Amino acid sequence: MSDVVQDALRRPLASLRVSVTDRCNMRCRYCMPEDEYVWLPRASILTFEEIARLVPVFAGLGVTKVRLTGGEPLLRHDLPTLVALIARDARITDLAMTTNGLLLATQAAALRAAGLQRVTVSLDTLRPERMLAFAKSARHADVVAGIVAARQAGFGKIKLNAVVIRGFNDDELGDLIEFARTHDAEVRFIEYMDVGGATRWSPDQVVSQQEILRTLTRRYGPIEPIAGDGRAPAERFRLADGATFGIIASTTAPFCRACDRSRLTADGTWFLCLYAAQGTDLRERLRRGATDAELAGLVRETWQARTDRGAEERLGVAERGALYRIDSLRADPHREMHTRGG
Ligand code: SAM
């Protein structure tokens, strides 16, 4: 049984992003541009059993959607075992993962068999030399192989996340749509966000939803919005030829009022907003022997008091720059996007 808990702005607790590791095998300039990082201590990382105890606590309070993320989730050894543990809870009706795809080709079938329902692969560029320059990875072909393998493993329409950055990949919007079309996938263009980790962010590099639509209209003609439920982060659109795509306009048109998402870091810190300064330490309570009812009480109370509207508040900041400088990220790695999960 679940009992849907609402926050102070009447937003339900419906979706949980679970970061399974803060480590990543890419170094995207908009997320992990530094040479060195402070990692979460190994002993603090939740075991699969600990994650599998927490997820049902959230499910009992209304969570139906779980997305595994990171860091790079496929770096976590034996991820299908965690998938199977989470999938056995029938209240979780949508179990998904966001990955950079580098290791997906070898793991797609096992993940699918374990009960993973959906996969989103991050793919910012179709040009290997750009990926090398921008993400310090020469393994573009592995990402494409991962997308192909995920389809073969039986995942339905795969989503492709592309962060659009002026002067990097803003000339590839149509090409990404064409790539998605040939791979039975749907691309979601993401506005560059000034989150922790994006220490080189500046407003002039953001390509807005409006600009993305203008560019695509020049290539494809009129674009029609697709009505949604107002809760998904992406607004979806259809081209005259039937191809669909999404845009996540978190920077220029944030959707905080409909945000039902929260985030659990790999060390069990629970954040109510991507921009939140503080999280709630669930690991400590879990390891000190808190019961499920005690954990549920804490989650319920914390969610009920939630008023966060981080992205909307950022919109009101004059002279906006990167959210954090590198020294404050080093002082608390929980502020990093790769720790919180995207
Ligand atoms: N490693 C996995 C991946 O690459 O998909 C999962 C974690 S990653 C942090 C999740 C998503 O966050 C990716 O699609 C990534 O592109 C996005 N992301 C990271 N930094 C971002 C930023 N500054 N603005 C917008 N999206 C960002």
Mean pLDDT of the 167-180 span:
98
- Run of H or E including 220: helix 209-220
Q: Which of 26, 123, 189, 190 to mutate to test the pocket of ligand 1 (most atoms within 8 A of CB)?
A: 190
Q: Whose CA is nearest to atom 2 of ligand 1?
A: 99
Predicted local confidence at residue 49, as pLDDT:
98
Band of the pLDDT at 1, cuts 50, 70, 90? low
* Residue of 334, 337, 277, 264 whose CA lies nearest to 38: 334
Region 228-238: mean pLDDT is: 87
pLDDT at 169: 98
Average model confidence (pLDDT) across the chain: 96
- Cβ contact 67:97 at 8 Å: yes
Please say if the pLDDT value at position 231 is more than 90. Answer: no
Report residue 96's pLDDT band, with 50, 70 and 90 as the boundaries: very high
pLDDT for the residue 319: 85
pLDDT in tens, 306-337: 999 999 999 889 888 999 889 989 989 999 99
| Residue 2: band (very low, low, confident or very high) from pLDDT cuts 50, 70, 90 | low
Q: Residue 226: in which H helix or E strand, if any? A: strand 223-226
CA angle 117, 341, 230 (to 5 degrees): 65
Does any ligand 1 atom lie closer than 6 A to the CB of residue 274?
no
Residues 216 and 182: beta-carbon distance below 8 Å = no
CA of residue 2 to ligand 1 center, whole Å: 30
Q: Is the CB of 100 under 6 A from ligand 1?
A: yes
Is-above-0.85 flag for pTM? yes
pLDDT tens digits for range 10-69: 999 999 999 999 999 999 999 999 989 999 999 999 999 999 999 999 999 999 999 999
> Left (φ > 0), alpha (ψ -120 to 50) or beta: where does 289 sit?
left
Query: In the predicted model, what is the mean pLDDT of residues 89-118?
Result: 98
Q: What is the mean pLDDT of residues 161-168?
A: 98
Give the distance (Å) from ligand 1 centre to CA of residue 342.
5
Residue 120 and residue 108 in contact, taking contact as beta carbons nearer than 8 Å: no
